Amino acid sequence: MLEILDTATSRLITGFFTYIPQLIGGLSVLLIGLIVAAAFKKIVLMLFRVLKLEKWLEEAGIAREKSLGIWTELTAELIRWTVVIIFLIPAAEIWGVPRVTEVLNKVLVYLPNVFIAAIVGLVGAVAANFSSDIVRQGSIALGSKSANALAVVTYYAIMFFTALVILNQLGIASDLIRILFTGIVAMLAIAGGLAFGLGGKDMARDVLEQLRKKLK
C-alpha cells in the first residue's frame, strides 16, 4: 500500500515539475498579450482623439443620451479583448486544454458581429437624433403644438428598429425578431391603407363618378 502511495506521489510530483515549463510558457504568452492589448487600446483611443470623434459625437447629439466618449471606449475595449483572446488561444494550446481553445476560437469568430452591432448602434443613434431634430424644427415651422411629442416618437421609433437590427446581428432570438419586424411593417401598411382609404374615400368616389360619366 505504501509503495503504491509513494509511486502515485512521485508521479504527481514528476508530472507537476514536467508541466511547469508549459505553465510558464502559457503565462508568458498571455502576459505579452495583455501588454499588447493595452497598447492597442491606447493607440485606438489616441487615434479617436486625433480624429476628434468625441467632438463629432457631441455635435451629433449622442452626448444627450450617453456619456461622452462611450462609443470610442466601447470600440477600444472590444479591440483590447480581441487581442487578448488572440494571445489566449496559443496560451491554452501550450497549457494543453483543447476544449478551451475551441471555445476561444468560437468567441473570436463571433467578435466581428459585436463590432458590426456597435457600428449599427452608433449610426442608429446619430440617425435618431438627426431625424428627431428635423421633425422638431419642421413641426415648429409648421406651427404644430406637438413638435416635441413627434420628435420623441421619431427618436424612439428609430432606436427601436436599431435595437432590432443589433439583436439580429448578435444572433439573439433572430426568428422572433424577424416575426416582430414583419408584424410591425404589416401593421404600418394596414394602418396606412386604412387611413388613406378612410381619408380619401370622398375623393375616390368623385374620381369613379367622373370616370363613369366619361364612359357613358
146/65 same-domain check: no
Shared-domain flag, residues 16 and 62: yes
Instruction: Please give the residue range of the domain that contains residue 4.
Output: 1-96
Q: Render 135-202 in DSSP notation, one character per residue.
A: HHHHHHHTT-TTHHHHHHHHHHHHHHHHHHHHHHHHTSSHHHHHHHHHHHHHHHHHHHHHHHHHHTHH
Same domain, 3 and 91: yes
- Residue 131: the pLDDT is 81
Is 88 among the domain residues?
Answer: yes
Highest mean pLDDT: which range of 20-24, 64-68, 181-185 = 20-24
**pTM above the 0.75 mark?**
no
Cell numbers given for 166? 443589433
159 or 207, greater pLDDT: 159
Average pLDDT, the chain: 75
Residues 168 and 178 grouped into a single domain: no
Q: Work out the average pLDDT over 69-78.
A: 76
- Overall average pLDDT of the 121-127 stretch: 79
Contact predicate 111/78, CB 8 Å: yes
**Residue 105 domain flag:** no
Same-domain status, 161 and 200 = no
Q: Which residue has the higher pLDDT, 31 or 197?
A: 31
- Poorest-pLDDT segment among 54-63, 121-130, 181-190: 54-63
Would you place residue 12 in the very low, low, confident or very high pLDDT band (cuts 50, 70, 90)?
A: low
**164 pLDDT more than 50:** yes
Whether 67 and 78 map to the same domain: the answer is yes
Of 29-43, 59-73, 157-171, the least confident: 59-73
**Higher confidence at residue 16 or residue 111?**
111
Share of the chain above pLDDT 70, in %: 67
Residue 104 belongs to a domain:
no
Residues 148 and 197 in one domain: no
Q: Which of residues 170 and 36 earns the better pLDDT score? A: 36
- The answer to whether residues 19 and 53 belong to one domain is yes
- Looking at the fold, whether 199 and 178 belong to one and the same domain comes out as yes
Count of domains observed in the chain: 3
- Yes or no: say if 77 and 41 are a contact pair by the CB < 8 Å rule: yes
88 or 174: which leads in pLDDT? 88
Q: How far apart are CA 203 and CA 210, in angstroms?
A: 11
Q: Is residue 103 part of a domain?
A: no
pLDDT beyond 60 at 11: yes
- Average pLDDT of the residues in 120-133: 79
